[in-house]
């Protein structure tokens, strides 16, 4: 009877142990990555009251089994259900990682500070030192690092410091490509102006510093002819990098001899109080004319207005006429240059040959008469119409009459003896719009009529000397920059064109040289670009490699103009430039700041930067074992290797080596099945109850035995 008591006690103990395991499973039903455990029982020793005997043929007896009485049950083992995955819980956090196994069970490798242990719980975070760690314990997640070439180095696992100081920034890149897109409209005011349609191309050097190249597009002819000019390159502070002491100028970086002068005056502002300094520089040149004759410059377009009589005797557009003037104000020489600054050798109109007066060069020249000048005034609409007795006249007011008298009396002696009387004059005009005569108004004095008659016959020879006030001198950009006249330094090869004017009314313009542009030809059939610079070419290179011979921070930038169109767009041009090509390559980057981390399915960790870069920072390695169920649970959702699990080699394997994956933004939930656990709880409870009944029944029997003595 005592055996039954002790067997039932053993049964109570083992069922209590099983209940402990069930309780632990249910307690961890919401523990991330928890694996449920099941228990197995085994019988304890047996007491043999008779041993088994074999059959005896001689005696005619059969064999007899042994007589054994069991002495109870014992707790045999626990088995972790390591291979059954838990359900997925979506969290959206980048470092909530779920191991999705394909063929074998994988474990994260984490370090406690003294040893590597293993876990399925993928709730990680980045600590204050930038290390990837377990949220629950702070154990560091182990993996592989990146070598100098940006490749994963699969050697001994080490802590993944994904936010180290080195990872906080991403290397800059210089710009190598650009694009010009949009529409150029022939009727837009900007492309027809001296300043052109402005374009800006932002780009980076190899250290991530930003710059802006500024271009101007101008319509330079009919039938889809344009010119694109480089006007300046400025740093992030708006200061030109092509200042007067630079080694290169606009034409060295962007050229081809196709350029036109572009006015960039608005791009540079005179510093406060420096206007007088600009005038002083000009006066210094003028005052030195005795030893260093002053050079007055005129555009061929301006001289054509003054001296040409028709299309047949015009000087070619785009030329510069430079007159050398001595201290006495006499023109001693005239030179003509093309847009590249070379001496012009093309055809010259007759008025450019000029003549001499006492050995002094007076070219170019033109003989004027009063009637021709008044015809110009009439055609400009500057004469007011009157009518007298059915005849139309046009009024030359007394002020204009005085101006004509002063001009022509100086050159024509026929006016010298006529005393000018104040009063308006009347002009007659023929059907062709040509002034044919001048007369005093009806009732005008005899003296005024005599003046009108003499003035009608007046002629004079106009020379360049009479227009020096409209010519400009070129100030040295070095002198201008050294004097600090403008708020930012001027590029090396722009021209500061200064005009003296009358009564101190000076003015200036800043223009680009004529060697810094390319011709663009568009198709008149569909408005597409035919070429830029030369036939068949639809790209041009901003040759920044010319900037410095050594230590140049820039790369050449190839700019694609192929998608630029010449179309009617309501008088608006939309052409614009952007860095990078059509595939988004070669745009250049500033230094990037780390703005995000992500983990891909192979466990590779990438950093995202605000300059658009994505950089590989490391890779999470995993461990696999021949008998994962043989791992020892050490708490905190971690396991340690045992002799029966297999050892860890210190290197690990790549998660996707067998088709498995790491899912970011997801956690593996516990694999505890409550239905199974509750069922096991019921059977355990019944087993416990049954064992307790054996004890109570045995006690009753023992009580009856004791009562026999009564």
pLDDT in tens, 404-451: 777 777 767 667 666 666 788 888 989 888 989 888 888 778 778 888
Q: Is the pLDDT of residue 559 over 80?
A: yes
Q: Is the pLDDT of residue 355 over 60?
A: no
pLDDT for the residue numbered 364: 78
Are 99 and 622 a contacting pair, CB within 8 Å? yes
Q: Which of 1-10, 279-288, 513-522 has the lowest mean pLDDT?
A: 1-10
Are 386 and 393 a contacting pair, CB within 8 Å? yes
Q: Is the pLDDT of residue 354 over 60?
A: no
φ, ψ for residue 641, nearest 5 deg:
-70, 155
Are 652 and 142 a contacting pair, CB within 8 Å? yes
Instruction: Give the pLDDT mean for 114-127.
Output: 94
Instruction: Give the pLDDT mean for 236-253.
Output: 88
Question: What would the pLDDT profile of 304-324 be if each residue is shown by its tens digit?
Answer: 888 888 888 888 888 888 988
pLDDT for the residue numbered 73: 80
Q: Collapsing DSSP states into helix, strand and coil, what is residue 312?
A: helix
Question: What would the pLDDT profile of 364-405 be if each residue is shown by its tens digit?
Answer: 788 888 888 888 888 888 888 888 888 888 988 888 888 777
User: Using CA atoms, how far apart are residues 110 and 119, in angstroms rounded to an integer?
Assistant: 7
- 618 pLDDT tier (thresholds 50, 70, 90): very high
Write a three-state SS string for 457-517: CCEEEEEHHHHHHHCEEEECHHHHHHCCCECCCCECCCEEEEECCCCCCCEEEEECCCCCE
Diameter of the chain by CA atoms?
A: 185
Pair of tokens at residue 100: 């999705």
- Residue 431 neighbours by CB under 8 Å, 6+ apart: none
The residues pairing with 331 across neighbouring beta strands, listed in sequence order, are 325
pLDDT for the residue numbered 1: 58
Instruction: Give the pLDDT mean for 209-235.
Output: 92
Average per-residue pLDDT in the chain? 87
Are 120 and 114 a contacting pair, CB within 8 Å? no
Percent residues over pLDDT 90 in the chain? 44
Are 217 and 206 a contacting pair, CB within 8 Å? no
Question: What would the pLDDT profile of 493-543 be if each residue is shown by its tens digit?
Answer: 899 999 988 777 899 999 998 888 899 999 999 999 999 999 999 999 999
pLDDT for the residue numbered 710: 67
Instruction: Give the pLDDT mean for 271-287.
Output: 90
Q: Collapsing DSSP states into helix, strand and coil, what is residue 641?
A: coil
User: Using CA atoms, how far apart are residues 454 and 439, in angstroms rounded to an integer?
Assistant: 10
What ranges in 319-416 are assigned the alpha helix state H?
370-379, 398-409
pLDDT for the residue numbered 493: 87
- The CB-side HSE value for 522 (13 A sphere, CA atoms) comes to 27
Instruction: Give the pLDDT mean for 576-583.
Output: 93
- Strand blocks (E) in 533-651: 539-542, 557-560, 565-566, 576-579, 592-599, 604-609, 614-620, 622-624, 632-635, 638-640
Q: Helices 370-379 and 398-409 sit at what angle, rounded to 10 degrees?
A: 150
Q: Collapsing DSSP states into helix, strand and coil, what is residue 166?
A: helix
The model's pTM is 0.70
Question: What would the pLDDT profile of 623-647 be if each residue is shown by its tens digit?
Answer: 999 899 899 999 898 999 999 999 9
Q: Collapsing DSSP states into helix, strand and coil, what is residue 656?
A: helix
Q: Is the pLDDT of residue 360 over 50?
A: no
Look at residues 560, 493, 552, 490 and name the one whose alpha carbon lies nearest to residue 251: 493
- Strand ranges across the sheet with 507-511: 473-475, 495-499, 507-511
DSSP state of 374: H
Instruction: Give the pLDDT mean for 453-458.
Output: 81
User: Cα angle vertex 317, ends 311, 320, to 5°?
Assistant: 130
Are 500 and 508 a contacting pair, CB within 8 Å? no
């Amino acid at each position: 009877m005592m055996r039954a008591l002790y067997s039932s006690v053993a049964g109570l103990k083992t069922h209590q142990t099983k209940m402990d395991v069930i309780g632990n499973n249910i307690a961890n039903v919401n523990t991330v990555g928890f694996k449920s455990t099941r228990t197995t029982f085994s019988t304890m020793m047996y007491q043999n009251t008779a041993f088994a005997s074999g059959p005896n043929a001689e005696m005619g007896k059969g064999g007899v089994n042994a007589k054994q009485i069991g002495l109870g049950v014992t707790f045999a083992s626990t088995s972790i259900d390591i291979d059954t995955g838990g359900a997925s819980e979506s969290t959206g956090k980048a470092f909530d990682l779920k191991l999705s196994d394909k063929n074998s069970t994988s474990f994260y490798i984490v370090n406690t500070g003294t040893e590597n242990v293993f876990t399925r719980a993928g709730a990680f975070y980045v600590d204050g030192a930038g290390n990837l760690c377990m949220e629950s314990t702070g154990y560091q997640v182990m993996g592989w690092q990146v070598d100098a070439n940006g490749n994963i180095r699969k050697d001994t696992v080490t802590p993944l410091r994904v936010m180290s100081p080195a990872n906080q920034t991403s290397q800059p890149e210089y710009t190598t490509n650009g694009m010009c897109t949009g529409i150029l409209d022939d009727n837009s005011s900007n492309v027809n102006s001296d300043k052109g349609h402005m374009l800006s191309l932002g780009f980076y050097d190899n250290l991530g510093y930003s710059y802006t190249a500024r271009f101007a597009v101008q319509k330079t002819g009919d039938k889809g002819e344009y010119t694109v000019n480089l006007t300046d390159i400025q740093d992030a502070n708006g200061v030109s990098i092509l200042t007067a002491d630079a080694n290169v100028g606009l034409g060295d970086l962007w050229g081809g001899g196709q350029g036109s002068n572009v006015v960039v005056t608005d791009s540079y502002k005179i510093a406060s109080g420096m206007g007088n300094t600009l005038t002083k520089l000009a006066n210094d040149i003028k005052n030195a004319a005795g030893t260093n004759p002053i050079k007055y410059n005129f555009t061929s377009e301006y001289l054509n207005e003054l001296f040409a009589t028709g299309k047949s005797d015009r000087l070619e557009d785009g030329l510069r006429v430079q007159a050398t003037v001595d201290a006495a104000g006499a023109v001693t020489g005239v030179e003509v240059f093309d847009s590249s600054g070379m001496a012009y050798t093309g055809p010259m109109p007759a008025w450019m040959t000029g003549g001499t007066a006492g050995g002094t060069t007076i070219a170019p020249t033109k003989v004027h008469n009063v009637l021709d000048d008044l015809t110009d005034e009439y055609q400009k609409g500057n004469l007011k119409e009157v009518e007298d007795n059915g005849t139309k006249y046009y009024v030359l007011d007394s002020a204009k009459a005085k101006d004509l008298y002063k001009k022509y009396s100086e050159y024509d002696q026929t006016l010298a003896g006529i005393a000018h009387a104040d009063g308006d004059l009347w002009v007659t005009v023929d059907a062709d719009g040509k002034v044919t005569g001048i007369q005093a108004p009806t009732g005008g004095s005899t003296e005024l009529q005599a003046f009108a008659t003499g003035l009608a016959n007046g002629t004079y020879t106009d020379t360049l000397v009479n227009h020096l006030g409209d010519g400009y001198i070129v100030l040295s950009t070095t002198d201008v920059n050294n004097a600090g006249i403008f708020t930012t330094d001027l590029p090396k090869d722009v021209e500061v064109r200064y005009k003296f004017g009358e009564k101190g009314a000076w003015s200036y313009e800043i223009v680009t040289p004529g060697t810094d542009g390319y011709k663009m030809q568009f198709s008149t059939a569909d408005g597409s670009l035919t070429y830029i610079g030369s036939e068949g070419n639809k790209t041009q290179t901003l040759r920044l490699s010319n900037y410095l011979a050594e230590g140049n921070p820039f790369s050449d930038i190839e700019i694609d103009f192929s998608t630029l169109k010449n179309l009617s767009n309501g008088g608006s041009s939309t052409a614009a430039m952007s860095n990078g090509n059509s595939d988004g390559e070669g745009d250049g980057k500033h230094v990037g700041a780390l703005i995000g981390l992500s983990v891909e399915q192979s466990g590779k960790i990438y950093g995202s930067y605000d300059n658009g870069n994505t950089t590989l920072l490391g890779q999470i390695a995993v461990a696999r074992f021949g008998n994962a169920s043989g791992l020892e649970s050490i708490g905190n959702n971690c396991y340690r290797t045992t002799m029966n699990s297999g050892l860890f080699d210190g290197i690990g394997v790549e998660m996707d080596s067998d088709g498995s994956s790491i899912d970011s933004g997801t956690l593996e939930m516990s694999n505890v099945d409550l239905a199974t656990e509750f069922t096991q709880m019921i059977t355990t409870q019944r087993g416990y109850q049954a064992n307790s009944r054996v004890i109570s029944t045995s006690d009753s029997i023992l009580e009856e035995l004791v009562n026999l003595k009564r």
